[in-house]
Amino acid sequence: MKRPLRCVAAACWATLILAGPPAQAQAVPATSTTSAPARAGASVPVQFTLANGMTLIVKPDRRAPTVAHMLWVRVGAMDEVDGTSGVAHILEHMLFKGTAQLGPGEFSRRVAAMGGRENAFTSRDATGYYQQIPSNRLEEVMKLEADRFANNRWPDDEFRRELEVVKEERRLRIEDSPRAMLYEVISGATYLASPYRRPISGWMGDLETMAPQDAREFFQRWYVPANAAVVVAGDVDPQQVRRLAERIYGTIPARPVPARKARIEPAQAGARRVEHKAPAEQSYVALSYKVPQLRGFEPGPEGDDALALTVLAAVLDGYSGARLDRALTQGPDRVADSAGAGNGLWGRGPQLFTLDGVPAPGKTPEQVEAALRAEVAKVAREGVNEAELQRVKTRWVAAEVYKLDSVFSQARELGTFWVQGLPLDASERLIERLKGVTAAQVQGVAARYFGDDQLTVGILRPLPRDPNARPRTPPAGLRH
């Protein structure tokens, strides 16, 4: 479990880990379209559904002759089964290894020759592939992406070589990072039934026994048109992009999306505590509380509380000099070198509110834990003031404007909303809902959701570093 990013402003999309099993896309005529309400000063994204069930989302932005093109597949680490953890991630790597038309690495070389850049990512909830290119090369990139989505293939020895790269990535990013290892331990303690208990990178034992057929079967099962969306943002005309998509992506044969079974996390009944010992300079403590999530924009108590918790996280740690910074890291009696808060607003799996901190010299993780909990208890007891609320809300509105500077950010946000099953204007709706959160609501959630029955505490206990240890070199082929 990676620590939640700060869920402030419209950047909340960065932490969107989708809510509940999304409804399967249905094959509908290619004339099916929807669009978001217009917003002053911004182009309107438009959504089409191709005849094979694939979704197309287009957002024009004519300020520069560039385009962000993304392919999203609604499948991630949470869709794996025990024994094959990490298969979604290794499959993402294998999509760069060729088709009947392209050899290994040829996709990337062609995009580079266009003057573009490309990469991919795997999360718990989705897998994404993207290119940023001159707008006059969009058709070429769409043909490349459609080819590997429909026709990905590679020899077994190519898989085995790439698996070694993925294993080295895990060593570099997880096993050599004490905090990353701590969060894996926390995930295993926090979640019993939810697939969020498994790491995106996969357990090393599963990677050691991963077979080429595991990745091929995962590809055949989940990489189907009705489980995918193409997002294009930039210097384009929506109707022209639609015609391209119908010709290039729309001819991929339709197949049903496999049924997803809900895996309900059982109620917790008491605090859980875990420790991880590793060579590190400082100790570290993380508190994870199970909290409700936002599943849509219809009014309701769980959604209202999820929004209020997001505001609470921003009041605690949404700007320089926020409450945790002032209370824990400043003054002669400070207990922490750093302290933070974040709220998982929505996701396909259960969400957490996280508090964390690094003890100051001479202080212990237990002292930091007590100080973090005391700040939440203070909000529950005394509430927050209007100046604090207005400050975080103003920052959210400003971030809505700043995000328009990047066509890639616009495309990624729209893709994330699609994975969530949310409307195209989810960002605007979210900001309006957050602006309406009151001080009383923030005080209420601080009092309701921070008891021991929702809590898992993880502590990193530092061990001396090996003076002879040499830094690990990033593996050749590291993609992201």
Is residue 229 located within the same domain as residue 280? no
Is residue 218 located within the same domain as residue 313? no
In the 8-state DSSP scheme, what is residue 475? P
Is residue 216 located within the same domain as residue 280? no
Is residue 85 located within the same domain as residue 144? yes
In this structure, is residue 147 part of a structural domain? yes
In this structure, is residue 16 part of a structural domain? no
Is residue 136 located within the same domain as residue 230? yes
Beta strands in 169-319 (DSSP E): 228-234, 272-279, 284-291
Is residue 210 located within the same domain as residue 329? no
Is residue 186 located within the same domain as residue 234? yes
Query: How far is it, in rounded angstroms, from Cα 9 to Cα 399?
Result: 6
Place of tokens 């009151």: 438
Domain that holds residue 421: 272-463
Is residue 430 located within the same domain as residue 289? yes
Query: How far is it, in rounded angstroms, from Cα 164 to Cα 154?
Result: 16
In this structure, is residue 468 part of a structural domain? no
In this structure, is residue 421 part of a structural domain? yes
> Which of 214, 248, 282 represents a domain boundary (last residue)?
248
The answer to whether the CB of 4 falls within 8 A of the CB of 354 is yes
Tokens representing 102 are 């392209």
In this structure, is residue 456 part of a structural domain? yes
In this structure, is residue 420 part of a structural domain? yes
Q: Residue 127's closest CA among 84, 93, 171?
A: 93
- Pick the catalytic residue: 92, 118, 169, 388? 92
Is residue 202 located within the same domain as residue 320? no
Q: What are the φ and ψ backbone dihedral angles of 446, each rounded to 5 degrees?
A: -65, -30
Residue 475: predicted pLDDT: 61
Cross-strand pairs, 32: 49
CB burial string 192-202: b at 16+ within 10 A, e below: eebbbbbbbbb
The length of the chain, given as a count of residues? 480
Q: What are the φ and ψ backbone dihedral angles of 119, each rounded to 5 degrees?
A: -170, -170
Mean pLDDT per 10-residue section of the chain, whose length is 480 residues: 35 30 31 47 84 97 95 97 97 96 95 96 97 97 98 96 97 96 97 96 97 98 98 97 98 96 92 97 97 89 94 95 96 96 93 97 97 98 94 87 87 95 92 93 98 97 83 62
Q: Is 366 assigned a catalytic role?
A: no
Residue 396: predicted pLDDT: 85
Structural domain count of the chain = 2
Q: Residue 384: which CATH number?
A: 3.30.830.10
Inter-helix orientation angle 365-382/301-317, to 10°: 120
Residue 400: predicted pLDDT: 79
Is residue 124 located within the same domain as residue 40? yes
445: three-class secondary structure by DSSP: helix
Query: How far is it, in rounded angstroms, from Cα 212 to Cα 464?
Result: 39
In this structure, is residue 264 part of a structural domain? no
In this structure, is residue 8 part of a structural domain? no
Is residue 178 located within the same domain as residue 322? no
- What is the number of other CB atoms lying within 10 angstroms of the CB of residue 317? 22
Is residue 53 located within the same domain as residue 100? yes
Beta-strand relationship, 455-463 and 272-279: parallel
Please list, in sequence order, all residues whose beta carbon lies within 8 angstroms of the beta carbon of residue 70, skipping any fewer than 6 positions away.
128, 129, 130, 131, 230, 231, 232, 411, 412, 415
